[in-house]
Structure 1
Amino acid sequence: MRIKIIGILTLLASQFCYAQQISNEIETISKLLFEPKSKEVLVIVHRGDWRNAPENSIRAIENTIKMGADMVEIDIQKTKDGQLVLMHDKTLNRTTNGKGNVSDFTLEEIKKLYLKSGIGIETHHRIPTLEEAMLVAKGRIFVNIDKGYNHFDEVYKILERTGTLKQTVVKSGGDYEKVTSEKGKAFFNQVVFMPVVNLDKPDAATIISDYTAKMKPVAFELVFNSDTSKIINQFSQIKNTGSRVWVNTLWPSLNASHHDDLAVEEGNLKDSWDWIIAKGVNMIQTDRPQELLQYLRKNKLHR
């Protein structure tokens, strides 16, 4: 009996330690996110670890957490019966063994399908709901819900129900006036909000200064096809106003060709991640998370 009690106590202690570890990790990420001048570069993994698991799958999220990344980006679509599931495309064709629009299938029908790997091979993984994904991420990693703005009322209910509001980022490409007219000013206090600004557009500086003056976002996601914008050399000024600088290194058109594959496939760090870091970027969304984390840790830019 004594041995049995000791075993139970040991199990409870280990569960407590694990829960404490999870809590500490999300608190660490949250603290860093709201420290724009921190040297730590936060890593966001695009669609989860899709090179080693189907994109937008539970396994892809779990892999991202195990890597020690700070945030996972996921995509959502709505089913015929109004349920939110993880899926980038409007159709099932590319990433599952089904065909047709997600919106033409009920959740029950969607759950019978299987996800495909990055090279198009059918796997045993199923399509998760947003709620299932958020429960996996809860207390472990921040989540950026792409298209979360478009379905915000439904998203908000799920985040509230799962207790994940404070670890979720929702973004919009609209300016401050557009977002407030669509969602109201209270929206900015409901989740972590981040504007997306295209630096190639002439009104980019105005959009950034307007947001900074009126609600001071936690970060700006900045995209640029060319590197001619003056703002690219003013990232430090953005951080000084209280916002982090997020850049996507996924493919050339988002970062003036200073992208992941240039670093990994060609070994050209000088014109890829070195260039990005030198500009003062401190949030990077990547398709090469393992390699990027290794690079940042080597340079003492990630814990």
Structure 2
Amino acid sequence: MKKSKFIVLLLLFCLQPGFLAAQRAETIRKDVLNPRLDKVLVVAHRGNWSIAPENSVAAIDSAIQMKVDIVEIDIRKTKDGQLVLMHDDTIDRTTNGTGKVKDKTLAEIKQLRLKDKNGRLTEHTVPTLEEALLAAKGQIMVNLDKAYNIFDDVYTILEKTGTADLVIMKGGHPVETVKREFGSYLDKVIYMPVVTIDDEKSVKVIEDYMEQLHPVAFELCYRNPSSTVPARMERRLAGKSLIWYNTLWASLAGGHDDELARKDPDASYGYLINTLGARILQTDSPAYMLDYLRSKGWHD
């Protein structure tokens, strides 16, 4: 009888929302680390900014609720050395303030209100990196943009919040530079190279990375729709490293972007997945992309 009660209590604990959320985060990480992944992971660019202001906790929460896999956020440092979420180097576009982030203290930035996608003021405030990571913890992975040059400060926050396993870092530097400048963190967070593959020079960049670091994934970018390199990279990386494409703008994926997807998702998302081997897609339209992927059996 005691054993039966214990099993019931254990099951009840495992069904708690917090436990299930933590399990989902672990599953996403395993998917990112799986070079033979047979589904497609969705990245929400600056959070789900169609619902809440970009780079806000609410935008992260919205992405979590719709079961996005990774949220991309941007990091800036304030005058007093604090890390906050902000894409631009100024606060003009996204808040009711003016000036550069680096010239403002955290207290000054916390007095501001964020604007929504239409430029209207909201009640949301600029979050710190710590607040954003705690909102994401256990529920979603996080791609930190604009964080490479301040990663010593970033990692302090990752340690404090216990979120290093959530983080994906990316950069466009050659492998030798990454090993020299970022080497001490390569076994602590996931690092993905960003490689523009419009010309033959990019092939050597990828080969150097495969030989020296063998990344779990590459973010690939190309402008020219007639380039033969993307298809070659699909064959080269198949079963070895995942391929990440951005559908934010036409210039990032040979025209196969969110705008085209609204007219013909098979010609956009479907092409990147079926022809170019994409298993991670970053989008400004996460709800639309998820609906498409689910209709094809490529996402839960």
Q: TM class, shorter-chain normalised?
A: over 0.9
Q: Percent identity?
A: 45
Counterpart of 1:297? 294
Counterpart of 1:3? none
Match of 2:258 among 257, 260, 266: 260
SS at match of 2:298: coil
Find runs of 4+ consecutive structure 1 residues off by over 4 angstroms.
13-16
Instruction: Describe the superposition over 1:246-300 as per-residue Cα deviations: whole angstroms up to 9, x where unpaired.
Output: 0000011111111101112xx2224311211122111000001001001001100
One-letter identity of the residue aligned with 1:162: T
Instruction: Give TM-score scaled by structure 2 length.
Output: 0.93
Consecutive unaligned residues of structure 1, counting only runs of 5 or more, are: 1-9
In structure 2, what is the Cα distance between the partners aligned to 1:171 and 1:202?
21
Consecutive unaligned residues of structure 2, counting only runs of 5 or more, are: 1-8
Instruction: Describe the superposition over 1:140-183 as per-residue Cα deviations: whole angstroms up to 9, x where unpaired.
Output: 00000001212110011101110110110011100101112223
Matches within 5 A, 1:8-27: 17-27=16-26
Instruction: Describe the superposition over 1:193-232 as per-residue Cα deviations: whole angstroms up to 9, x where unpaired.
Output: 0000011244211111111111111110001111333331
Counterpart of 1:42? 41
SS at match of 1:189: coil
Q: CA deviation at 1:14?
A: 6.4
Counterpart of 1:242? 240
In structure 2, what is the Cα distance between the partners aligned to 1:295 and 1:15?
31
Q: CA deviation at 1:62?
A: 0.1
SS at match of 2:71: strand
One-letter identity of the residue aligned with 1:223: C
Matches within 5 A, 1:65-104: 65-104=64-103
Counterpart of 1:162? 161
1:124 aligns with 2:120: no
In structure 2, what is the Cα distance between the partners aligned to 1:238 and 1:154?
36
Counterpart of 2:54? 55
Number of residue pairs matched? Answer: 291
In structure 1, what is the Cα distance between the partners aligned to 2:13 and 2:91?
41
Q: Is the 8 A contact 2:200 2:229 kept in 1?
A: no
SS at match of 2:16: helix
Matches within 5 A, 1:206-245: 206-240=204-238, 242-245=240-243
Could you say if the C-alpha distance between residues 119 and 205 of structure 1 is closer, same or farther in structure 2, counting changes exceeding 3 Å?
same
Match of 1:278 among 274, 281, 293: 274
In structure 2, what is the Cα distance between the partners aligned to 1:236 and 1:202?
15
Instruction: Give TM-score scaled by structure 1 length.
Output: 0.92
What is the root-mean-square deviation in Å for CA atoms of aligned residues?
Answer: 1.8
